Chain A
Amino acid sequence: MLKNQKSMKKLFTYLLCMLFPMMVLAQERTINGRVVDSETNEPIPGVNVIVLPSYRGTITDMDGNYSLTNVSSTDQLQYSFIGFANQTVEVGEQTTINVILVPDINELDEVIAVGYGVMKKSDLTGSVSSVGLEDINMTENITLDQALEGRVAGLNVSSGDGTLGGATEIFIRGVGSINSNTQPLFVIDGFPIEYSYDRERIALDEEDPLNPLVNINPDDIESIEVLKDASAAAIYGARGANGVIIITTKKGEAGKTNISLNARMGFKQPMKRMDMMESVDYAFYQHEQFSSDERWLTPETYKDSTNTDWQEQVFSQGAALSQSYDLAIDGGSEQTTFRTNINFTDESGVVKGSSLEKFSGSFKLNHKAGRWLDMFTDINLATSGNQTSGTGGTGGTYKGYGSVMKALLTPPTKDPFYVPTDEELDADGTDLSNPLTSMNNSQNIKKNSEMRINTRFMFKLHPSLTLMVRGGYRMSFAERRQFYPSTTSKGKNTNGLSSFSTNNKSTLLGESTLTYLNTFNKVHNVNAVVGLSYTKNTDWYNDAANSDYQYSDLGIYNIGVGVDPYVPQSWYEEPKLQSTLGRLNYNYDNRYFATFAYRIDGSNKFGTGHKYAYFPSGAVSWRASEEAFLQGAEWLDNLKVRASFGITGNQGIPSLLSRDNYGLHKYILNGSLTSGVALNNVRDDNLKWETSEMIDAGIDFLAFNQRLSVTFDVYRKDTYDLLLNNNVASQSGYVTDWTNVGSMRNEGFEIALRGDVIKQAGFKWTLSANYARNENKVLKLNGESDHMIMDDYILQEGQPVGTFYGVISDGIFHTDAEAEAGPVEQKYIGENRPGYRRFIDQDGDGIITPDDRVKIGKGHPDGFGSLSNSFKYKGLELRMMFTFRHGSEIYNGTRKKLEEMFDNKNKNKLATITNRWRPENSYYFGDEGNPTNDEFANGVRAELPWVRYDDKLFQTYHIESGDYIKFRSVTLQYRFPSNIAQKIGMKQLSVRTTFENIYTWTKYTGYDPEVSMGKNKGLMPGMDNAGAPTPFVYSFGVNARF
């Protein structure tokens, strides 16, 4: 926190400095000196040096040096810097005054961004969590979500399918919507960015889309604030219901020019591998299933035959290299500061051929034009691209196969270099083609470029009145290019297939706010802001696809080679938002605080009469520690109780639902396509906002000279008017219609602790932990039915979202008598037999039908949190972090596919299937290590059904506990003493080594329990379909400042 605080304080100092008039007086004497930190002996830049009693002054430069002219010997010099105790020195006859400042860190004075303004942490009335640089540095972050993971109580990062730069989803205090957007709003230096996936045309449903925030450079982040409760988030009104994440980026510092380099290099390898059958076991299995098939060799032959480890084949040999360089230059004068940086990141994935390349550059300029104008501008350009090799498992459809799943399924008896036959390519999915063939021959590239300009003018109209005018423009250009030649299964049927799509989005932002800041009678503190905001988005989508490639040499680079093009498509829309906002913070004597905030949002997506919505909120807090009766308690630094209530909204529905909407429906006349249209959506004038009401109560506790800090919050969030694509009677001509129905509740608590366990000279052990518990419940869906079944999930009143719905497995039938007695699966009526699965027959009709489905698990956790330790001894620092989660289940689709045997005779299976039911005297050799035939007689020990059983039901056998504790990261960092650093021409130098994803304690048998695939992780969490495994990462980094 230290560094972060200092930087923030510097910023604040600058802001304060400009309030003081700097007049030139008659010359008397010049004083020089240097200010250093008593702990580190490092110079402190930005220290305020004021000449008393005249109150003119200066600040120290980057080397801590200052110079003051015209000082008289009777003057006093006062040195102040936030985070350090003030010092006053009599000038006397000295001409050089060097000062050592003693830290006086008061985290209550920390200034944090709260949206349309900053506030002292002690003044907060809402629930806001800060993530500082020190937290961000726990892991080596490629994308923003990695910086957030485990850092904030109540913020859950749901990771994706392992695609590099792929989409993860962030849930703050649970899932707050059914069909609407569930992601928080991101605000970068005041510029709001909504989390939305790019539209793209993809030939295969195999990869997650690129993370919409991939272009935010984690090295550029100074601090992150997470606004969790309604009182904090309500200032963002219609976009605040899922919480708001405010990102403050690093700014330039006055003084000598700094050059900072942060370089890292790392290696990764899969954290875990599946234990698959080897050739011999595979042969036994094949023979048992199809003993008469002449294609199989005898098992004996397999002993000497090929035994390919396909995981080894598709994972990068050795270790995948990644590297990242961030070079930043900042500096400037008191009037003008700048910061510019470039960042280059190149990552290889654990799956061969997968990679992520990022480049970003920014230029930031702060300029103070006299006393009345302060301007800031940030120009940011970033581009990211990833190349995937079908790494994404199955991308949520869990029907196709990603390359990892393919590798697991490909028989070990196949040679890595085998060329798939036409039949294999054709029947991909039932038969398998060589996974390497498609990985090596197909091209799948996603690129996302972004430009952001964010300019802000602050006019100081009066010492207590500031006008802020912001203009911003953000443009993002996303493209996906794919090519599958005829040698791959995807391209075979069409003799090559390519697709190309672009999604070009822009946001134009105009905002102005008026801030009033004043204190009356020394006890009435007022901080008020009112403002107007206007956002216009554009969203352009285009695609093209072609097939029939008579030669494939040019791939994605010339899709015109194909001779059988598909019909291209395009789409354009313009969502707009117009808002009025305001907030009043009042506190009495720093003891009683109250905040009222409101926002009125108008969105063009909604029906006539519901375009505008009003989002008020209020909060009160009481700093008990400032009361007279607690003044005696020296050990108590802060005790604050808070309570808030507010309303926020959600507008994340598709465009054009409030209009009649005639979509393309072409018909074939005279043998060729002819234009046709039909009504896809009926105008709905009543469509309105999704509204959340949140109550939050919390306690902030800080004691023992700030060595112990505890924050505790309880909350309840009720969301009404859920926007739902509701089922309607199809005699209307439609099967669904978007309406506001239903409500949902999230309630829970969060606790965050931080303590300096040991704080002695030179040594400091800091322990921090957070934990959050959230209970989600659907209160109401709609009038007709209390539940909705969505694939293998049920959404039911009284139940949480993400509830798995299926039948309960009850072992297998071992004897004819058992099988006879049933219950029997619908498709096996009259054919039930030993070796088939038994399920619980809920309705007692003797037949297992969809009616026997019950709730069989839930994908969202009950609770989750993290535990971090940091040990500091002089320049040496050791940081480690554990994360954990409990109370969730995972549908292990990977294991299901790798254990189902029917119709999959050409696919390899998990080694566990040797524990399958076998008929007496089945074809099996009693190889060493394998159970004997006798042991399997009548399948006494078998847990898995026999080879001919078609395991198609969604059932409990594949549901596993998702509880885990993960040793997420450990970093060892050494910061060279400044005198050594200076000898080699540096101001600062530190080296570090980081290990990530070191070990996971879990019963989960898949690659990683921290998994959720598919594009709707909120509604359909906990689905594992063999994405790229989480890598173990080893990296080495250098941070230098010149």
Chain B
Amino acid sequence: MRKINIYQFLIILFGLSLLAGCEDVIKEESFSVLTDDNFYENQTHAIIAVNGVYRAMTDRNKDNTQNSTYGMDGNLLMMNKLSDVNYNDGAKANYGGPIAIATLSENDVVTSNVWALSYMLINRANNVIGNLPDVPMDSVLQQRIVGEAKFLRAFAYFNLVKYWGRVPIHTDETRDFEDATILKGRNSVEEVYGQIISDLEFAEQSLYFKYNSFDENLTYWELPPEAIGRIIEQDEDGISYMRKVLEITDKGRATVGAARSMLGRVYLYLASAKRYGQLDGYEWVDDFTAYQRARDYCGKVIDYGHYSLLDNYQSLFSTSNKYHNESIFEIGHDDTSEDQGSIFGYWHSGSTRIAARPEYVKLFDATFDTDADLFVDSLTDARLYHSASLHQNKDKIMITKYGMKSDFKFPRGWPEHLKFINWIGSGFNGPVNVPVIRYADVLLMMAESVNEIEGPGRAYEYINQVRARARRSNVYPTNYPADLFGLTQADFRSQVWDERKRELSFELHSLSDLVRTGTFMEKIQATKYLSQSQDVFDDEKWANATSSVLAGNVSEYNMLFPVPLRERDLNPNLDQNPGYNGSAN
């Protein structure tokens, strides 16, 4: 063989160098998603991160839940089927059937998924709260965003503590999956509330002012001085508040009003759960002070003067009227994303949609036209026929939000809107927002706490505002529902609790109100079964009606949901709530 010449040598060298130049090969570059390399670098990142926390309420990510296809599995509205106003025949576990008839087991799919989705939200909030301090940005906005994340985190923990009692507290983002990190045991109820209240108090001082308290068309210099710029105000307690107003495009974010209302709700829950409820874990509460706090926070929202009741009850739940003056916090939905199955998602039409019990109809103590197909013809409270419709020859009363087709076989004279109904959506999407806090709720909370503190006297003003609006909403001018007056403290108490059902049923309050007022067993055990929903008008049939399946099944331990089997399998540090499989007793 002859020797290799210089050209050959160069070619060989070239071949080898092909490989030599690839030292950085093992670095994984990211292109289509943001990663730790390039995230949390600026103000925009902070904003989109907190938007992702909001989204946790409507994310129907199949990867985040088990058994989740289409449907309602993992929806908080399904959790509230366990009540004296919601009806469900018990079918379809992923539509909350076992919850509705109190046969749920520890591997119930809805409760398991709500647990998982709530912690998904909490972890996202923790991610924002933990990372924001290092982001170079406007400090006021930075504080607002942390406040939003804390508000949402508090909201999730409040749901968890209401439905499960003691729950593990995670306030740091999950960075690894070691046992020490993720297998925490359950904290006490007191500790959970401590976390909730501290988050909400931070939120109250960090969030911006209500977004649409002023006419949208006002120009900057026409705004009231309190809304301009980064104004820090102090209220009579010496606490500072951000007074910066949100952009119109920020409608839907948590505000000072939302934080205060939520604080009012938390304190009212604590106070009444201590005074009337039968749940363990609330012994530490000073109920009188808690009622006062509830009153004070609700009072601040009312005194603010930027919220008001809408004239007409039916315009509350509309695709065309979102973020209105009565809305304090609501969950955004539109018709572009399939979000059923998330904790605040939609559910689609079908035989097991949300329906009402006859007891719900009975709350409206007016005369019914016995021949009425629909409550709209009857002389009663507008809220009934805006929420429910009779379904002839069926055992349920429909409360339908979503998926109604225009050719749906409805009884004659259907109303323009039912609560949550989506008249125009198609497929699985519904553009009606889910109301979380309404001004009417704040008024009723105010009435309840004032009555508890000092008796009904000054409380009538608040409850009667709500009743008057219902009266104004009637199609035919009637006296229903009339103003309340002259009640004893106890009568007022039970009236305000009923009023909450009339006004707020199917808006996530049904179960927690029963539990905190100690009426859970009493009211649920009194529920009856009617094979035909129109029999509710027949006094004789009503008197002879048998007890409902739920009434027969319900036990006191159902006030709390079982800790999901999946979680207990994975985490031996989680004990079960009493009464369910695997619990100590």
Interface contact A732-B182, CB-CB below 8 Å: yes
Contact residues of B between 476 and 532, Cβ < 8 Å to A: none
B454 at the interface (CB under 8 A from A): no
Q: A457-B15, A683-B36 known; A668 and B332 CB under 8 Å?
A: yes
Contact residues of A between 248 and 273, Cβ < 8 Å to B: none
Residues of A within 8 A of B567 (CB): 729-731
Interface contact A731-B65, CB-CB below 8 Å: no
A570 at the interface (CB under 8 A from B): yes
Surface stretch bound by B, among A130-138, A290-298, A462-470, A693-701: A462-470
How far is B36's CA from A663's CA once the two chains are assembled, in angstroms? 12
- The smallest C-beta distance from A1025 to any residue of chain B, in angstroms, reads 17
Interface contact B29-A730, CB-CB below 8 Å: no
B570 at the interface (CB under 8 A from A): yes
Interface contact B566-A730, CB-CB below 8 Å: yes
How far is B66's CA from A874's CA once the two chains are assembled, in angstroms? 66
Interface string of B1-40 (1 = CB under 8 A from A): 1001000100110111011001001111111111111010
- The smallest C-beta distance from A580 to any residue of chain B, in angstroms, reads 9
Residues of B within 8 A of A674 (CB): 51, 249
Contact residues of B between 134 and 177, Cβ < 8 Å to A: 168, 170, 173-177
Residues of A within 8 A of B175 (CB): 682-683
Q: A668-B252, A678-B53 known; A732 and B48 CB under 8 Å?
A: no
Interface contact A666-B51, CB-CB below 8 Å: yes
Contact residues of B between 39 and 95, Cβ < 8 Å to A: 39, 48-56, 58-59, 63-66, 91
Interface contact A732-B12, CB-CB below 8 Å: no
Q: A604-B26, A659-B37 known; A676 and B54 CB under 8 Å?
A: yes
Interface contact A677-B18, CB-CB below 8 Å: no
A662 at the interface (CB under 8 A from B): yes
Interface string of B538-561 (1 = CB under 8 A from A): 000000000000000000000000
B474 at the interface (CB under 8 A from A): no
Once A and B bind, how many residue pairs between them come within 8 Å at the CB atom?
A: 236
How far is B333's CA from A670's CA once the two chains are assembled, in angstroms? 10
Q: Which residue of A lies closest to B39 (CB)?
A: A662
Contact of A732 among B66, B123, B322 (CB under 8 A): B123
Q: A658-B28, A669-B251 known; A493 and B570 CB under 8 Å?
A: no
Surface stretch bound by B, among A474-482, A735-743, A878-886: A735-743
Q: A659-B37, A732-B174 known; A673 and B336 CB under 8 Å?
A: yes
- The smallest C-beta distance from A749 to any residue of chain B, in angstroms, reads 38
How far is B3's CA from A461's CA once the two chains are assembled, in angstroms? 8
A603 at the interface (CB under 8 A from B): yes
For the complex, count residues of A whose C-beta is within 8 A of B: 80
Interface contact B48-A675, CB-CB below 8 Å: yes
Interface contact B170-A667, CB-CB below 8 Å: no
Interface contact A494-B29, CB-CB below 8 Å: no
How far is B63's CA from A735's CA once the two chains are assembled, in angstroms? 7
How far is B333's CA from A673's CA once the two chains are assembled, in angstroms? 9
How far is B13's CA from A459's CA once the two chains are assembled, in angstroms? 12
Q: A671-B332, A677-B52, A784-B570 known; A512 and B33 CB under 8 Å?
A: no
Q: Which residue of B lies closest to A536 (CB)?
A: B25
Q: Which residue of A lies closest to B97 (CB)?
A: A827
A533 at the interface (CB under 8 A from B): yes
Interface contact B333-A662, CB-CB below 8 Å: no
- The smallest C-beta distance from B423 to any residue of chain A, in angstroms, reads 15
Q: Which residue of A lies closest to B5 (CB)?
A: A372
Q: Which residue of B lies closest to A782 (CB)?
A: B570
Q: Which residue of A lies closest to B160 (CB)?
A: A731
Residues of B within 8 A of A670 (CB): 248-252, 323
Interface contact A733-B124, CB-CB below 8 Å: yes
A571 at the interface (CB under 8 A from B): yes
Contact of A728 among B55, B168, B177 (CB under 8 A): B177
How far is B19's CA from A682's CA once the two chains are assembled, in angstroms? 32
Q: A471-B18, A602-B25, A668-B332 known; A659 and B36 CB under 8 Å?
A: yes
Contact residues of A between 602 and 653, Cβ < 8 Å to B: 602-605, 611-612
B119 at the interface (CB under 8 A from A): yes
Q: A731-B567, A735-B66 known; A372 and B34 CB under 8 Å?
A: no
Interface contact B322-A671, CB-CB below 8 Å: yes
Residue among B29, B33, B170, B323 with most chain A CB within 10 A? B33
How far is B406's CA from A426's CA once the two chains are assembled, in angstroms? 13
Residue among B29, B52, B53, B116 with most chain A CB within 10 A? B52
B334 at the interface (CB under 8 A from A): yes
How far is B34's CA from A467's CA once the two chains are assembled, in angstroms? 43
Q: Which residue of B lies closest to A462 (CB)?
A: B1
Interface contact A669-B31, CB-CB below 8 Å: no
B370 at the interface (CB under 8 A from A): no
Q: A675-B48, A682-B174 known; A731 and B168 CB under 8 Å?
A: yes
Residues of B within 8 A of A659 (CB): 28, 30, 35-37
Interface string of A97-141 (1 = CB under 8 A from B): 000000000000000000000000000000000000000000000
Contact of B56 among A534, A665, A732, A735 (CB under 8 A): A665
- The smallest C-beta distance from A6 to any residue of chain B, in angstroms, reads 31
B265 at the interface (CB under 8 A from A): no
- The smallest C-beta distance from B337 to any residue of chain A, in angstroms, reads 7
Residue among B51, B251, B571 with most chain A CB within 10 A? B51
Majority secondary structure of chain A interface residues (helix, strand, loop or mixed): strand
B467 at the interface (CB under 8 A from A): no
How far is B120's CA from A793's CA once the two chains are assembled, in angstroms? 28
How far is B14's CA from A578's CA once the two chains are assembled, in angstroms? 18
How far is B302's CA from A505's CA once the two chains are assembled, in angstroms? 60
Q: Which residue of B lies closest to A678 (CB)?
A: B52
Interface contact B170-A731, CB-CB below 8 Å: yes
Interface contact A678-B250, CB-CB below 8 Å: no
Contact of A667 among B14, B35, B52, B248 (CB under 8 A): B52
Interface contact A667-B55, CB-CB below 8 Å: yes
Residues of A within 8 A of B177 (CB): 682, 728, 732, 734, 737, 739
How far is B544's CA from A960's CA once the two chains are assembled, in angstroms? 53
A672 at the interface (CB under 8 A from B): yes
- The smallest C-beta distance from A792 to any residue of chain B, in angstroms, reads 13
A532 at the interface (CB under 8 A from B): yes
Interface contact B55-A733, CB-CB below 8 Å: no
Q: Which residue of A lies closest to B14 (CB)?
A: A469
Residues of A within 8 A of B124 (CB): 678-679, 733
Interface string of A529-555 (1 = CB under 8 A from B): 000111010000000000000000000
Q: Which residue of A lies closest to B564 (CB)?
A: A730
Q: Which residue of B lies closest to A663 (CB)?
A: B33
Residues of B within 8 A of A730 (CB): 115-116, 119-120, 566-567
Residue among A459, A572, A670 with most chain B CB within 10 A? A670
Residues of B within 8 A of A683 (CB): 36, 175
A574 at the interface (CB under 8 A from B): yes
How far is B525's CA from A348's CA once the two chains are assembled, in angstroms? 66
How far is B27's CA from A536's CA once the two chains are assembled, in angstroms? 12
Q: Which residue of B lies closest to A664 (CB)?
A: B33
B236 at the interface (CB under 8 A from A): no
A560 at the interface (CB under 8 A from B): no
- The smallest C-beta distance from A687 to any residue of chain B, in angstroms, reads 11
Q: Which 7 A-B pairs have the closest CB atoms?
A: A733-B123, A676-B51, A668-B332, A469-B15, A678-B52, A730-B116, A660-B36
Q: List 5 A-B contacts (CB under 8 A).
A: A573-B31, A655-B28, A680-B33, A733-B124, A734-B64
Add 17 more A-B contacts to A578-B26, A731-B119 (CB < 8 A). Answer: A510-B22, A659-B28, A662-B34, A665-B56, A667-B55, A668-B252, A669-B250, A671-B251, A676-B55, A678-B55, A678-B124, A682-B174, A731-B184, A732-B123, A733-B123, A733-B174, A735-B64
What residues make up the interface of B, taking CB atoms closer than 8 Å to A?
1, 4, 8, 11-12, 14-16, 18-19, 22, 25-37, 39, 48-56, 58-59, 63-66, 91, 115-116, 119-120, 122-124, 126-127, 168, 170, 173-177, 181-184, 248-253, 322-323, 332-334, 336-337, 405, 426-427, 566-567, 569-571
What residues make up the interface of A, taking CB atoms closer than 8 Å to B?
371-373, 426, 457, 459-463, 467, 469, 471, 493-494, 510-512, 532-534, 536, 566-567, 570-574, 576-578, 602-605, 611-612, 655-656, 658-680, 682-683, 727-737, 739, 784-785, 827
